[in-house]
Amino acid sequence: MQEKYDYIVIGAGVVGSIIARTLSRYEGRILLIEKEADICMGTTAANTAIVHAGYDPLPNTLKARMNVKGNAMWDTLAGELNFPFERRGDFVVAVGDEEFPELETLMTFAKKNGVPGCQILPGHEVRRREKNITPDVSGAVWASTGGICDPFQATVAAAENAVMNGVEVKLNTAFEEFIMDGDRIIGIKTNQGDFLSRWVVNCAGLYSDFVMHQAGVRPEFKIRPRKGEYFVFDRADVQIDNVLFPVPTDKGKGILVTTTVHGNTILGPNAEIIDDKNDTSTTTSGMDEIWAGANKLVPSLSKKHVIATFAGLRPMGNGPCKTPGVDYNKDFIVEIPEKVRGFVNLGGIESPGLASSPAIAQEVIDLLKDAGEEMKVKKDWDPIRPSRPRFREMSQKDRKLLVEMDPSYGRVICRCENVTEGEIIAEIHAPIPATNYDAIKRRTWLGTGRCQGGFDTPRVVEILSKELGVSPLEITKRGKGSKFLFRPTKKVEN
Amino acid sequence: MLKKDTYDVVIIGSGPGGLAAAVAAKEEGAEDVLVIERDTELGGILLQCIHNGFGAEVFNEDLPGPSYAQRYIDETLELGVEFLLDTIVLEVTPDRKIFASSKLHGFVEITARAIVLAMGCRERTRAMIQIPGMRPAGVYTAGTAQRFVNIEGKMPGEKVVILGSGDIGLIMARRLTFEGAKVERVCEILPYLSGLTRNYVQCLQDFDIPLQFRHTVKFIYGKNRVEAVEIAEVDDKWQYIPGTEELIPCDTLLLSVGLIPENELSRQAGVELDPITGGPYVDESRQTNVPGIFAAGNVVHVYDLADWVTWAGLDAGKGAAKYAKAIRAKEMELIPVIAGKNVHHVIPQAINKRSLEDEEIELQLRVLKPIEERTIIEVHDGKNQITRKLERYVRPGEMNTIVLKPRHFADVEKASNITVEVNPR
């Protein structure tokens, strides 16, 4: 007997998870599938974590509209779902007089896109607000609505809230093809069996081209992954309190120097078009490029304080997009295609996809309504995902109370980030269980500090093994093929 | 559970430095001495160092790490030192309040009359040396792999490449070989060994494990688990030499690329750190800039022998007990000790002149560059030599010492600073 759903969402990145959560407000049975061993494993797992203000996208594009609308929705989203989000504002920094005119262009975009709270600041004022900035700064666009967030926690919180409201989540489940009835999609085939559904939503990110091609939609559309590499600094050594963009170029928004909600300064990304959707490697040339770019904005940075490097892929489309007259890869696709029924198609949701995601989810609801769906609101929909204790963020007084309530919060497993056994156990038994090391890392921020998991890894393996009731030899870093350990050591013969 | 909330001396960490400090503090007359250890047993990293090579200096014996630790554990127990195990210190304040947390003992607040920081060191990671490539499972620091093998009894890999010729990497090359793994290669970016020569001989040479100097890892392959590493030769500026690349299939990359003193707690307490060593500035009693806070062992600078750490711990424990009893000389006349020619750093970074009146002060140093011939270590006051010592060779991987004796007091008293330098004879 095949399971029957009203909506299947393919892909549990931030877009898929927020769409699933938004759909869960309405009546209907919903399935969210993810090919990896955890949610939030693709583009959402490796980006700059910025909720863009919206002065960057070309005016009159869907991307511009989604960005500005989405940005305004983040306070409510973070408030309901309880994940870290700070509306700090951001700077686009012009270095030298020759870059200053670019700021006027951005202001024009900001005005056309309807971005509130933007103004040009003179160089001395920028220096006053960020003491680490280059003395060559000639001015900056200040966008007060720019924000920073934790994309992992945002995605986990949205997906958990979806589960609380009845959405089913299937991990390690890869879409293979559609089940069609004439021109209507009636389900999907996956590596875990077939699932029937009245609607399927394509949130496959880097693989959104594959999914739409399987539906016969936009055969000319192709994702061209744009790789971006990053440096992360030890927050004890480097503290940049602001979000600093360079002036944008054809290649994108450029190499930033920015703070994060965890207090670590990060640098990046560069932008390299690649072919391999699995290639999340860092490279010598990429790291050199980031370093040069970041030093232009903040000359005082030292490589001595780097504690992590990583790379992420952005699912940039080659076009065509939804907006007539707009160049290839400059816009999102969010549509219900005319020639296939039962399909909501998304594509090319690269930056500012994170900022846009709540607006995109609303757009999907509107499209479904336009297509004749009733979209009846459930009476018992609960928008609140309660937060769980985070030892590292608590005062000593609150820690004391927490440990008295549950002693497992007294055992610190990650010494750099002060993550406790209690927090790890809570994540293993959460609505979407964290069953591997990276899943716990992304949810708790464990292993992200200066020792990069050197201390906690054996201990986390032990806790996972105990809580999941499996051998330590079965514990993985991030799912299939990524085991930490191979076999027991030799037995001592007496 | 804790007997009280105020102690004469509280020691953070129960490795060789912490245990020795506890013994010395008791022997110096401190009444209540408490050691806080984050692991479930005493001994620190010594417990996973099941190889021999410990104790030659302190006990004139060749012991494995756990046995070496046990000597001091037994002594601390006899002396009535108290312990909190499985307890992590979260914060130390400049006025010596300690916040700690434990599953067993709950949330703990203690005030100490004196504190000895003995947190040891941590390993440098892949990111710190920025090895390009993928980020799969199977990239471990040598110490993490050592814990997996020796404490957990599990093998973290079968086909292994080791980057760095630090001691733990060399030891693990042999250990993994014993357990049936194949160590394909050890690469060292420097033209000389980072670890002890004896470890090279006993752990690599004896097992025919190839070591390549001036080589490093250029790229890590593998999406989920390490599949191969590309290594390459480097020039004097550490740039890859084109054409020297070699792909080595393997499932594991171990990193033994240096240790860094672990000083996150020290910083919170207002302890000033030396950017050269990464550890606190200390004087000859191992006192930091914060009165009553002492530091000993690898938390100050990285030693190559645990025996040295023990001695540093003894000094710190004695200093802390004296401070706690308020008999420490209040009038200090500190003069800086400067790292001169071919010297990376000297510990202590400052000495109290008056101490030299009635006791020896040992200066510990690391050289910048090896000298493979007869070498002179010299202490001078800028103009005149105070003392000198002859060595057969000096190597960055092996710490050197030179002792100032009470008979040097007259010279040191006149000096505004003293400098240590190392030159070929």
Domain of residue B371, CATH code? 2.60.40
Nearest residue of B to residue A412, measured between CA atoms? B88
Asked which of B328, B352, B378 is the last residue of a domain, the reply is B328
The answer to whether B116 and B320 are in contact (CB under 8 A) is yes
What values do phi and psi take at B354, rounded to 5?
-60, -30
The pLDDT of residue B358: 84
CATH number at residue B203: 3.50.50.60
CB nearest to B144's CB, from A282, A421, A458? A458
Beta carbons within 10 angstroms of residue B214's beta carbon:
18
- Nearest Cα neighbor of B219 from B193, B190, B187, B191 is B187
The pLDDT of residue B31: 94
Interfacial A residues in 207-266 facing B (CB < 8 Å): 232, 236
- Same-domain check for residues B114 and B135: no
The pLDDT of residue A327: 62
The pLDDT of residue B3: 73
Tokens of A253: 């928004």
Q: What is the pLDDT along chain A (494 residues), one digit of tens a residue?
A: 678 999 999 999 999 999 999 999 999 999 999 999 999 999 999 999 999 999 999 999 999 999 999 999 999 999 999 999 999 999 999 999 999 999 999 999 999 999 999 999 999 999 999 999 999 999 999 999 999 999 999 999 999 999 999 999 999 999 999 999 999 999 999 999 999 999 999 999 999 999 999 999 998 899 999 999 999 999 888 889 899 999 988 777 899 999 999 999 999 999 999 999 999 999 999 999 999 999 999 999 999 899 999 999 999 988 666 777 666 578 999 999 999 999 999 999 999 999 999 999 999 999 999 999 999 999 999 999 999 999 999 999 999 999 999 999 999 999 999 999 999 999 999 999 999 999 999 999 999 998 999 999 999 999 999 999 999 999 999 999 999 999 999 986 65
Which residues from chain A sit within 8 angstroms of residue B251, using beta carbons?
Answer: 486
The pLDDT of residue A493: 66
- Same-domain check for residues B61 and B132: no
Alpha carbon distance B313, B301 (integer Å)? 13
CB nearest to B99's CB, from A396, A404, A477? A396
Contact B158 A486 (CB under 8 A): yes
The answer to whether A307 and A450 are in contact (CB under 8 A) is yes
Q: What is the mean pLDDT of chain B?
A: 95
Nearest residue of A to residue B123, measured between CA atoms? A451
Convert the pLDDT of each residue in B283-310 to its tens digit.
999 999 999 999 999 999 999 899 999 9
Domain around B398: 332-425
List, in sequence order, every residue forming a beta bridge with A370; answer none if it has no partner.
Answer: none
**Can you tell me whether residue A356 is helix, strand or coil?**
helix
The pLDDT of residue A326: 67
Contact A236 B137 (CB under 8 A): no
The DSSP line for B367-416 is ESS-B-S-EEEEEESSSSEEEEEEES-B-TTS-EEEEE-GGGHHHHHH-S
Three-state DSSP string of A276-288: CCCCCCECHHHHH
Query: What does the pLDDT average to over B362-372?
Result: 95
Contact A399 B107 (CB under 8 A): yes
Nearest residue of A to residue B99, measured between CA atoms? A396
The pLDDT of residue A328: 59
**Can you tell me whether residue A340 is helix, strand or coil?**
coil
Q: Where are the domains of chain A?
A: 3-45+152-222+318-370, 393-474
Query: What does the pLDDT average to over B96-100?
Result: 97
Contact A308 B127 (CB under 8 A): yes
CB nearest to A454's CB, from B86, B123, B132? B123
Beta strand A184-190 pairing with A193-202: antiparallel
The predicted model scores a pTM of 0.94
Residue entry with tokens 């990497």 = B169
Report the residue of A270, A392, A412, A474 to disrupt the B interface, i.e. the one with the largest count of B CBs within 10 Å: A412
Interfacial A residues in 322-351 facing B (CB < 8 Å): none
- Nearest Cα neighbor of B65 from B73, B79, B55, B57 is B55
- CB of A369 within 8 Å of a chain B CB? The answer is no
Nearest residue of B to residue A400, measured between CA atoms? B107
The pLDDT of residue A124: 96
The pLDDT of residue B326: 81
The DSSP line for B57-116 is TTTSS-B-HHHHHHHHHHHHHHHT-EEE-SEEEEEE-TT-EEEEEETTTEEEEEEEEEEE
pLDDT category of residue B1 using cuts at 50, 70 and 90: low
Alpha carbon distance A420, A414 (integer Å)? 7
Tokens of B151: 């404490």
- Same-domain check for residues B241 and B320: no
- Same-domain check for residues B323 and B336: no
Which residues from chain B sit within 8 angstroms of residue A282, using beta carbons?
Answer: 130, 132-133
Contact B101 A483 (CB under 8 A): no
Using the 8-state DSSP alphabet, how is residue A65 labeled?
A: H
Alpha carbon distance B167, B257 (integer Å)? 10
Which residues from chain B sit within 8 angstroms of residue A416, using beta carbons?
Answer: 264
Contact A458 B147 (CB under 8 A): yes
- Same-domain check for residues B281 and B344: no
Contact A306 B128 (CB under 8 A): yes
Contact B134 A287 (CB under 8 A): no
Which residues from chain A sit within 8 angstroms of residue B132, using beta carbons?
Answer: 281-284, 286-287
Alpha carbon distance A464, A458 (integer Å)? 10
Convert the pLDDT of each residue in A49-96 to its tens digit.
999 999 999 999 999 999 999 999 999 999 999 999 999 999 999 999
- Long-range CB pairs of A286-291, under 8 A, 24+ apart, other chains included: A286/A227, A286/A229, A286/A311, A286/B132, A287/A229, A287/A231, A287/B130, A287/B132, A289/A229, A289/A255, A290/A229, A290/A230, A290/A231, A290/A255, A291/A231, A291/A267
Q: Is A429 marked active-site?
A: no
Alpha carbon distance A98, A102 (integer Å)? 8
CA separation, residue A475 to residues A75, A376, A465, A486 (Å): 37, 43, 7, 10
Q: How far is A60 from chain B (nearest CA, A)?
A: 39
Convert the pLDDT of each residue in B4-52 to its tens digit.
899 999 999 999 999 999 999 999 999 999 999 999 999 999 999 999 9
Three-point CA angle A329, A363, A373, nearest 5°: 130
- Same-domain check for residues B251 and B272: no
- Same-domain check for residues B264 and B236: no
- Same-domain check for residues B59 and B141: no
Count residue pairs from A and B with Cβ separation < 8 A: 150
The pLDDT of residue A329: 73
Report the residue of B87, B146, B152, B227 to disrupt the A interface, i.e. the one with the largest count of A CBs within 10 Å: B152
Contact B156 A486 (CB under 8 A): yes
HSE-CB for B178 with a 13 A CA cutoff: 17
Contact B135 A278 (CB under 8 A): no
The answer to whether A240 and A265 are in contact (CB under 8 A) is yes
B306-324 and B16-27 helices cross at what angle (nearest 10)?
Answer: 40
Q: How far is B277 from chain A (nearest CA, A)?
A: 13
- Same-domain check for residues B22 and B4: yes
- Same-domain check for residues B345 and B314: no
The answer to whether B137 and A483 are in contact (CB under 8 A) is yes
Buried b (16+ CB within 10 A) or exposed e, B230-268: bbbbbeeeeebeeeeeeebebbbbbbbbebbbbbbbbeb
Beta carbons within 10 angstroms of residue A380's beta carbon:
6
Q: For domain A3-45+152-222+318-370, say whether CATH 3.40.50.720 is its number.
A: no
Asked which of B293, B328, B363 is the last residue of a domain, the reply is B328
Nearest residue of B to residue A448, measured between CA atoms? B127
Contact A309 B264 (CB under 8 A): no
Total domains in the fold of chain B:
3
CB nearest to B141's CB, from A399, A454, A484? A454
The DSSP line for A97-109 is GGGHHHHHHHHHH
Query: What does the pLDDT average to over B117-138?
Result: 95
Three-point CA angle A70, A76, A78, nearest 5°: 90
Tokens of A450: 């200066």
Dihedral sign for Cα atoms in the order B134, B135, B136, B137? positive
Q: How far is B196 from chain A (nearest CA, A)?
A: 23
Q: How far is B124 from chain A (nearest CA, A)?
A: 7
CB nearest to B127's CB, from A418, A452, A485? A452
Dihedral sign for Cα atoms in the order A75, A76, A79, A83? negative
- Same-domain check for residues B139 and B192: yes
Residue entry with tokens 């006192």 = B287
Contact A458 B151 (CB under 8 A): yes
Q: How far is B368 from chain A (nearest CA, A)?
A: 18
Residues in chain B: 425
Which residues from chain B sit within 8 angstroms of residue A451, using beta carbons?
Answer: 122-123, 125
Contact B267 A236 (CB under 8 A): yes
Report the residue of A409, A419, A437, A450 to disrupt the B interface, i.e. the one with the largest count of B CBs within 10 Å: A450
Contact B153 A462 (CB under 8 A): no
Q: How far is A149 from chain B (nearest CA, A)?
A: 23
CA separation, residue A212 to residues A62, A173, A219 (Å): 19, 18, 8
Q: Amino acid identity, residue A405?
A: M
Asked which of B205, B235, B257 is the last residue of a domain, the reply is B257
Which residues from chain A sit within 8 angstroms of residue B127, using beta carbons?
Answer: 232, 306-309, 452
Residue entry with tokens 């004087």 = B283
**Can you tell me whether residue B331 is helix, strand or coil?**
coil
Q: Determine the CATH number of domain A393-474.
A: 1.10.10
Interfacial A residues in 374-413 facing B (CB < 8 Å): 396, 399-400, 403-404, 407-408, 410-412
Q: How far is A95 from chain B (nearest CA, A)?
A: 28
Q: How far is B112 from chain A (nearest CA, A)?
A: 18
pLDDT value at B329 more than 60? no
Q: Which residues contact A117 (CB under 8 A, 6 or more apart)?
A: A53, A89, A143, A144, A145
- Nearest Cα neighbor of A293 from A251, A348, A234 is A251
- Same-domain check for residues B246 and B295: no
Contact B224 A421 (CB under 8 A): no
The pLDDT of residue A27: 98
